A and B are shown apart, each in its own frame.
Chain A
Amino acid sequence: MSAKNTSVSKSRLNLPVLDILEEAGVCFSIKGNDLEFIYQSKALNKLLGIARLYTNDFEIFIPEIAYEIAQEDSLISTSGVAEDVDRVLITKKGKELIVRVKRSIVNHKGETLLVTIYTDITKQSQNKQFEAYKKVLTEGEVFEKMLNRFSQRIFSSQSRNDVFNGVGKLCLDLLDLQNLSIYIMDQEMLVLRKKEILINGEHIISKEITLNSVNIPLSEGVIGKCARTKTTITIDDVHLEHDGIRDIREFKSELAVPIIYHNEVLGVIDTESSSYARYTDKTKRIIEGLASLLAIKLHEIESKEYIEAKNEQLHSLVKNNPNAIAMLDNKGNYMQVSDDWMRQFVSSKHDSILGLNHFELNPNIPSRWKKLMDKAYSGVHQVMQKEGYKRRNGEIAFFKGKINPWFLKKGEVGGIIILADNITESVNAEVRLLKSTEELEEAKLIGQLYNWEIDIEKGTIQVDTGKQNIPGVENGRQYNLDAFFQFIDTGYHADFNQAIDHAIAGNGEFSLIHPFRVKSRVFWMDNRGKVITENGAIILVKGTAHNITDQIDAENAYKQKNRELKQLNRELDQFVYKTAHDLRAPLANILGLVDLMRMEENPKILATYFDLQQKSVSKLDTFIQEITNYTKNTRLPLKRDEINFGTIVDGVLRDHMFIAGSDQVQKNLNVEKSKLYYSDCERITIVLNNLIANAIKFRDDEKENSFVEIDVKSEGKYIHIRVRDNGIGIPDEFKDKVFDMFYRAHKSAEGSGIGLYIVRETVRKLGGSILLKTEEGAYTEFNILLPNTKF
């Protein structure tokens, strides 16, 4: 059967009657076995949402039933008999309509016409598409077609939500259901978690099933029973069913179908209706079919999730393991490594090594390790005992470990897992122990070992100092423990008692390292002892004290030296940097000025440029002087001269005579007479030079009488020098920093910021101290105390 759209002129067969009646219809002429298109009404175009000519009428129906309609048309055209049927029709916009199809055979001007009229009954239709299918298809065919649509939808879904939304939408289209819920089995909790799909004929947009979803225990209700018994339960009247959960909603019948995959219940599909005995065998069959489709899909999703979770778990297990673990694939590429592995074996320049090759990254792996790995790759577990290796930083580290193969599903080796346990500490401890035993022998020889015993009952201690004398401790005297504690730092008394208690109660061994104080000297003692029993009763703790003071002192001294060196290094770096900068800055100025002068002709401006050049040169000169002073202070040995402060200050003032602003500052020197002062003349000059220069530089021009006072007094064994000015002062926040190297508290660029640093360092070298008192806008006062000794 075919239909041809021949070029029929409308004037030949004018059939306006459909349009006049406002009916949606189409008209074909029957030519033997063929249908020839004649006319299509405007109302049909409107119904379908497009003005398009259809070559045959079944083209507008959903594809599933097109074949049946074609068969039917053929039947009508020959027999002339037609029944009204309801069918699904798809508009151009994709909307599905239910239409009642009336067909009639009409004779018109000698032609036999098939006139089809469509009436939209979507709204009236109660049975929706299911009924529409039912009219033309056998029940089995309907069943098959519906399941086809369900399966297409379900298997194209990616997630559970996708599946549920799809099922909901199709149920709404194809099945006349009021309510539909899917319950998913939680195997751990043995509850069924509810997911509502349809409520009162409305499709619910799915949200994730969460732990907070409505849960039904396996032991309860129709749903629980359905899952337990793994059978479909149809209830025609819930009021007669005592398994039903009595519900305030007015549901009367219920259908529960288990979702079973390989005899395992994954969930339950449940639907309820407000009419009695709503669920026929047909509905049951459809829902059961749907359940088997869901079972396959849900199992697939679950397995996928399971594998992903397992994979994630494995990776996280490796990654977060406190030990060093690396998982390699069969080519030796890292699949996952623990943080500890990264710390221990991987240079910090790598953020991640995943995907890199173990053997390429570590080209120097010893061959015996490679052998072990090869064996592991062949499927045999390997053990590594105490392996030592040199780290990148040169340290020797030790580890023990295991190399295990891991297997793919088929039994092939997928790769290896290396577990390494860092035992460097314990190996080192072993070595130390060995050494200390050797030292013990040595110590005995040089008499640094003292035997002692504590009498538990009497609470006394007796020390055998041997030939070596411990000052203050009498050889062989029985000290009351409390009295003996005078030799031990207060902080260690509790530890000492605890060590005794521990020895008595525990394994019988006494062990304590503590400082031992005799007069002002502190020794460090390493005590080891054992309990001595008599007739089962503990009477003594007997042991030896090992003098480890030298060892500890050496260690501390070494640490201290190291810290000092580091500090010195930092300072040197800064010094070099700053010096380079400050030496070059005035030179750069001079060069810049020379450049400008080349382009300048105005003699007045040229003169200012010369002035500026001179300033730059003086600045450079001053700085070089300062550096010389600094170096002098650090390098030159201390001298002891008799100091004539008058001469020194005169000299300093002479040097400052031509410094800008010098004439505006009154200088006063008061030296306590009839005293002799001894110190290093050159260093005193450096100190005073700097302080006086600062007083001039930071004078306060707003004050009428700027001054700087230098007072020198003798105070006991000290020389007290006070330098006070009424200058601009120093803001509080900079007070702590002004002595730092190159620190400049003031914005003027006059100085390099090294002056006060030199002052402080010089005073330190002289064995004195310096104290700053200042108030912003008021005054600055330096108090210096120097030892006044001839030698």
Chain B
Amino acid sequence: MLVFLVDDDPIQNMINSQLVRLYDDKIEYMVYNNGVEVIQGLEEGLLPDIILLDINMPIMSGFEFLNLYQHYTNAANVFMLSSSDNEDDRKQAKKYSCVEGYVIKPVSKEVVHDILLSADKRKSQGS
């Protein structure tokens, strides 16, 4: 399984990668600082199963990224990360079919565990 961790905050990225490793220390994950970097990763042929996506990022925000990403075939399940619970953001996120959930920071071990477990299940059913 491949997980994309997208946040402009290096501390948040560090926390997220530790949480992913706590679930499975052999899990593959990529860290990106903004939407443009993710697009570059995708263009290189990486096919993530899960994307944890921050909303507020410079260069290309989470929503700007989703505007492009929603047209990809085999779009991964995206979980939005936000430090504030904003109603407009939630509404906006719901418009994208690839967005699976909306997580308010701090991201807990349990939440990451649940996200990855369900992705694992989906993957084993699919194959």
Q: Which residues of A contact B (CB under 8 A)?
A: 577-578, 580-582, 584-585, 587-589, 591-593, 595-596, 599, 612, 615-616, 744-749, 753
Contact = CB atoms under 8 A, between A and B. Distances in A.
Interface stretch (B40-48, B63-71, B105-113, B119-127): B105-113
A612 B10 CA distance: 10
B109 A599 contact: yes
A593 B17 CA distance: 12
A588 B58 contact: no
B77 interface: no
A24 to B, nearest CB: 64
Contacts of B107: 592
Contacts of A599: 22, 109
Contacts of A592: 11-12, 15, 105-107
A577 B86 contact: yes
B83 A747 contact: no
B58 A745 contact: yes
Interface string B88-127: 1000000000000000011111000000000000000000
B122 to A, nearest CB: 26
29 contacts: A580-B84, A581-B56, A581-B82, A581-B86, A584-B84, A584-B105, A585-B105, A588-B83, A589-B9, A589-B11, A591-B106, A592-B11, A592-B12, A592-B15, A596-B15, A596-B18, A599-B22, A612-B14, A744-B58, A745-B58, A747-B8, A747-B33, A747-B57, A747-B58, A749-B7, A749-B10, A749-B33, A749-B58, A753-B58
Given A593-B15, A596-B18, A749 B8 contact: yes
Contact of B86 (A580, A593, A753): A580
Interface in B51-77: 56-59
B42 to A, nearest CB: 18
Contacts, number: 70
A587 to B, nearest CB: 8
A585 B9 contact: yes
Nearest to A613: B11
B18 to A, nearest CB: 5
Nearest to B32: A747
Contacts of B33: 747, 749
B11 A595 contact: no
- Ordered nearest first, which 8 A-B pairs have the shortest CB separation? A588-B105, A744-B58, A591-B106, A592-B106, A592-B15, A585-B83, A584-B83, A749-B8
A589 B15 contact: yes
A451 B105 CA distance: 74
Contacts of B57: 747
A588 B15 CA distance: 10
A589 B12 contact: yes
Contact of A616 (B11, B19, B82): B11
Contacts of B58: 744-747, 749, 753
A582 B57 CA distance: 11
A301 to B, nearest CB: 48
Nearest to B105: A588
Contacts of A578: 56
B84 A581 contact: yes
Nearest to A580: B84
A18 to B, nearest CB: 69
Contacts of A747: 8, 33-34, 57-59
B14 A577 contact: no
A595 B8 contact: no
Contacts of B59: 747
A25 B35 CA distance: 86
Given A588-B106, A591-B106, A595-B109, A612 B11 contact: yes
Contacts of B105: 584-585, 588-589, 591-592
Contacts of B9: 585, 589, 749
Nearest to A612: B11
A746 B34 CA distance: 10
Contacts of A749: 7-10, 33, 58
Contacts of A596: 15, 18-19
A577 B87 CA distance: 11
A37 B8 CA distance: 97
Contacts of A591: 105-106
A720 B59 CA distance: 33
Contacts of B83: 581-582, 584-585, 587-588
A354 B66 CA distance: 38
A577 B56 CA distance: 11
Nearest to A585: B83
A584 B15 CA distance: 16
Contacts of A612: 11, 14
Nearest to A605: B18
Contact of B12 (A581, A588, A753): A588
Contacts of B82: 581
A581 B12 CA distance: 14
Nearest to A591: B106
A286 to B, nearest CB: 64
Contacts of A584: 83-84, 105
B14 A595 contact: no
A593 B8 contact: no
Given A587-B83, A747-B34, 4 more contacts: A585-B9, A585-B83, A588-B83, A593-B15
A596 B22 CA distance: 10
A580 B87 CA distance: 13
Contacts of B12: 585, 588-589, 592
Nearest to B109: A595
Nearest to B86: A577
A609 B100 CA distance: 30
A452 to B, nearest CB: 59
Contacts of B8: 747-749
A616 B15 CA distance: 13
B109 A577 contact: no
A745 B57 CA distance: 10
Contacts of B56: 578, 581
Contact of B108 (A577, A589, A595, A746): A595
Contacts of A582: 83
Contacts of B86: 577, 580-581
A585 B13 CA distance: 12
Nearest to A578: B56
A9 B9 CA distance: 100
Contacts of A746: 58
A29 B15 CA distance: 103
Contact of B106 (A577, A589, A615, A745): A589
A588 B111 CA distance: 14
A599 B15 CA distance: 12
A745 B34 CA distance: 12
Nearest to A594: B106
Contacts of B22: 599
B36 to A, nearest CB: 9
Contacts of B109: 595, 599
B118 to A, nearest CB: 21
